[in-house]
Amino acid sequence: MSFRIGTRGSALALAQTERVVELLADRGVDADVVTITTEGDTTIGVPLHAIGGQGVFVRALDDAILRGEIDAAVHSMKDIPAARPAGLTCCAVLERDSPADFLAHEVPLDALRVIGSSSTRRRAQILRDDPTLEVRQLRGNVDTRIRKLREGRYDAIVLAEAGLERLGLTLEGEPLPVGRFVPSPNQGTIAVVCRDDPAVVETLATLDDARTRLDVGVERAVMEEVGGGCFTPQGIYCRGGDLVAEVLSLDGSRWERIERRVTTIDEARVCGRELRERAADLIREAYAALGIRP
């Protein structure tokens, strides 16, 4: 059986998909790559929350699977929203790459004044770490963001370290410690989504990494209980059952945080409900500030 694997057309999305295709080839499975344009790729002049959040990168690929145009799609797992359409399943989670953010800069650290990022989480965490910095919106693919940095529009930009590694890019700068800059849930993880067909699932599930699936499953369980999507600054990271999760105010001046040892998804959900309760005011404030009804 030959599979049709859908992907966005960015260099990073294509690199991630080629990894999946190569892993399938190692198992004797043929796959063709189908490139699909998403709303997130074509609407780049506004913040993500204004066009529906991270889910805009996923919706078109979901629809293509459900229409039968492709058999599966490859995603950065952090882009997959909590609510998923019926008829789809996450059949494989690849072994995790670096979960860290990377601060790319070509000027000394003590000269940084303007940081580029479109993420509410990154903005809040940067301002918490140094309230004197200015964080400006930055959208576009990795190449576009790097170009804007080199044009001097920003003193530094924040990217996912895993994305740079997958593209084979080496930039001046350093990864940010995950304890202080807690990553987005599932950052650094590639996921394969397919139609809920046993024959398709059985083949693609051979790519699954059980340890990574459990860690990211814990993160997603916390995320689902907390709610807020990309509208509320939140970092959630689990490694080998060690969970750290936080919700911040938009300006990074206040936050709620939990650190726990978690061994099951049910325990993760308890942590998520606790964090949601403790951070209720921060979540309401984020929605209100962005003019969004919860």
182 assigned to some structural domain: no
Q: Which residues contact 140 (CB under 8 A, 6 or more apart)?
A: 44, 148
Residues 89 and 194 in one domain: yes
Residues 56 and 106 in one domain: no
85 assigned to some structural domain: yes
pLDDT digits (tens, 9 = 90+) for 85-139: 999 999 999 999 999 999 999 999 999 999 999 899 999 999 999 999 999 999 8
Q: Structural domain of residue 240, as residue ranges?
A: 209-294
| Domain end (from 175, 199, 220) | 175
180 assigned to some structural domain: no
DSSP letters spanning 88-152: EEEEEEPPP----EEEEESS-GGG--EEE---HHHHHHHHHH-TT-EEE---S-HHHHHHHHHTT
Residues 289 and 225 in one domain: yes
Are 4 and 34 within 8 A, CB to CB?
Answer: yes
- Over residues 269-277, mean pLDDT: 98
Looking up residue 243, the CATH number of its domain turns out to be: 3.30.160.40
Residues 2 and 80 in one domain: yes
**Averaged pLDDT score across all residues of the chain:** 91
pLDDT recorded at residue 294: 61
pLDDT digits (tens, 9 = 90+) for 232-268: 999 999 999 999 999 999 999 999 999 999 999 999 9
pLDDT-derived band at 2, boundaries 50, 70, 90:
confident
**In angstroms, rounded to a whole number, what is the distance separating the alpha carbons of residues 103 and 8?**
25
- Over residues 15-42, mean pLDDT: 88
Question: What percentage of the chain reaches a pLDDT higher than 70?
Answer: 92
DSSP letters spanning 203-264: HHGGG--HHHHHHHHHHHHHHHHH--GGGS-EEEEEETTEEEEEEE-TTSS-EEEEEEE--S
Residues 4 and 84 in one domain: yes
- Over residues 44-53, mean pLDDT: 46
| Domain end (from 175, 200, 219) | 175
For the whole model, what pTM was predicted? 0.88
Residues 6 and 86 in one domain: yes
Look at 27-41, 76-90, 178-192 and tell me which has the smallest mean pLDDT.
27-41
pLDDT recorded at residue 213: 97
Residues 169 and 294 in one domain: no
Looking up residue 124, the CATH number of its domain turns out to be: 3.40.190.10
pLDDT-derived band at 52, boundaries 50, 70, 90:
very low
pLDDT recorded at residue 50: 44
Q: Which helix (H) or strand (E) holds 63?
A: helix 59-66
- Three-state secondary structure call for residue 59: helix
Taking Cα atoms as reference points, which of 191, 261, 237, 224 lies closest to residue 20? 191
Residues 82 and 115 in one domain: no
Residues 136 and 78 in one domain: no
What would the two tokens of residue 235 be? 């970092």
pLDDT recorded at residue 38: 65
Residue 140: pLDDT over 90 = no
pLDDT digits (tens, 9 = 90+) for 178-212: 999 999 999 999 999 999 999 999 999 999 999 99
- DSSP classification of residue 71: S
pLDDT-derived band at 39, boundaries 50, 70, 90:
low
Residues 118 and 77 in one domain: no
Residue 68: pLDDT over 60 = yes
Look at 12-16, 144-148, 158-162, 286-290 and tell me which has the smallest mean pLDDT.
286-290
17 assigned to some structural domain: yes
Residues 170 and 196 in one domain: no
pLDDT-derived band at 293, boundaries 50, 70, 90:
low
Number of domains composing the chain = 3
109 assigned to some structural domain: yes
184 assigned to some structural domain: no
Taking Cα atoms as reference points, which of 247, 230, 236, 224 lies closest to residue 292? 230
69 assigned to some structural domain: yes
pLDDT recorded at residue 196: 93
pLDDT higher for 193 or 228?
Answer: 193
Looking at the annotation, which residues are catalytic?
A: 79
Residues 213 and 196 in one domain: no
